[in-house]
């Protein structure tokens, strides 16, 4: 899909793609049983769900099974306090899965679970351990209840406009030239130390010099990690692509620092305070 907010500029794409998928399935050119839509961590789920009710063609061909919300055990309390979208995701959820339980204390998880149940008593709360969840917690839930949603948001079927938090923005960094591993680790480590509280989500694929596999990189606030992904295919264009989502993002500093990590750049990092 094109870049942008799935519930604003991309909504037309969503309707078009769902329509094309149905047509291909009807004519035998494509076989599938379900469609899973993954939004960004800051998306308001209401406009996405609206698509299945306000567009007649989509409503005839697709059943909205459930809205599944992943809740980060390490950072959820802060995000629920600060971001209306996080509260909307919990309130609209038919199933809630708590993640990163290995990074939080047992009492923190218990308090979070209690808070989630108070916010949304109708959604079952489960856990996803190390990124793995029961398939029954994701598919064929049959949990979406329009009447329950109308209780939360009475204008659900008529209000197709929504507002964004202007402080929360995102941008994508792309670069085909290889990156220097030592430089990228030093730079990103410094960025997390300085701006970690503002970096709500960052992830991507890195093209590292002399590494024949993709390096998959992701982080949330102060937590950052990477691992080797699939090998680059023969003849495939190798490129780095990083997505940053956060509040008051230091975009110019991030872009300049990442460009300095390109192999051959004449930069050396000596002090994180100077980055």
The pLDDT tens digits for 171-215 are 889 999 999 999 999 999 999 889 887 887 788 899 999 999 999
54 found inside a domain: yes
The CATH code of the domain that includes 225 is 3.30.1220.10
Q: What DSSP state is assigned to residue 120?
A: -
Among 87, 93, 83, 84, smallest CA distance to 48 is for 93
Same domain as 264, residue 178: yes
Last residue of a domain, one of 118, 152, 186: 152
Residue 267 banded pLDDT, cuts 50, 70, 90: low
Within this chain, do residues 20 and 132 fall inside the same structural domain, yes or no? Answer: yes
Query: N- to C-terminal Cα distance for the chain?
Result: 34
pLDDT at residue 153, as a whole number: 57
In contact, 247 and 200? CB cutoff 8 Å: yes
Number of domains in the chain: 2
Q: Does residue 6 have a pLDDT over 60?
A: no
> Do residue 15 and residue 74 come from a single domain?
yes
Q: Residue 82 belongs to what domain range?
A: 11-29+36-152
Residue 121 pLDDT exceeds 90 = no
Among residues 2, 89, 96, 106, the alpha carbon closest in space to that of 44 is found at 89
Residue with tokens 């002399």: 210
Amino acid 167: pLDDT: 59
Query: 130 and 25 in one domain?
Result: yes
Encoded tokens for 105:
């204390």
Residue 80 shares a structural domain with residue 112: yes
pLDDT of residue 143: 79
Mean pLDDT of the chain: 81
Residue pLDDT, tens place only, 47-87? 777 777 777 788 889 988 888 999 999 888 888 888 888 88
Structure tokens at 156: 């659900």
């Amino acid at each position: 899909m094109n870049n942008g907010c799935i519930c604003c500029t991309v909504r037309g794409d969503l309707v078009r793609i769902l329509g094309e998928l149905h047509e291909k399935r009807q004519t035998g050119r494509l076989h599938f049983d379900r469609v899973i839509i993954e939004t960004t961590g800051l998306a308001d789920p209401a406009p996405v769900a609206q698509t299945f009710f306000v567009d007649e063609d989509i409503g005839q061909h697709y059943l909205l099974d459930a809205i599944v919300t992943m809740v980060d055990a390490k950072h959820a309390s802060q995000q629920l306090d600060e971001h209306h979208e996080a509260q909307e995701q919990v309130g609209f959820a038919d199933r809630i899965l708590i993640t990163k339980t290995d990074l939080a204390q047992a009492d923190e998880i218990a308090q979070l679970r209690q808070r989630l149940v108070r916010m949304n008593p109708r959604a079952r709360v489960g856990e996803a351990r190390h990124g793995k969840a029961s398939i029954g917690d994701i598919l064929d839930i049959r949990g979406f209840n329009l009447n329950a949603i109308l209780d939360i948001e009475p204008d659900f079927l008529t209000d197709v406009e929504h507002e964004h938090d202007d402080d929360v923005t995102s941008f994508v960094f792309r670069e085909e030239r290889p990156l220097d591993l030592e430089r990228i680790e030093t730079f990103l480590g410094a960025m997390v130390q300085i701006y970690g509280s503002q970096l709500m989500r960052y992830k991507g694929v890195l093209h590292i010099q002399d590494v024949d596999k993709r390096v998959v990189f992701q982080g949330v606030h102060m937590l950052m990690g990477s691992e080797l992904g699939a090998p680059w295919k023969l003849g495939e264009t190798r490129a780095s692509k990083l997505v940053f989502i956060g509040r008051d993002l230091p975009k110019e500093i991030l872009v300049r620092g990442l460009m300095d990590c390109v192999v051959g750049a004449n930069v050396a990092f000596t002090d994180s305070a100077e980055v």
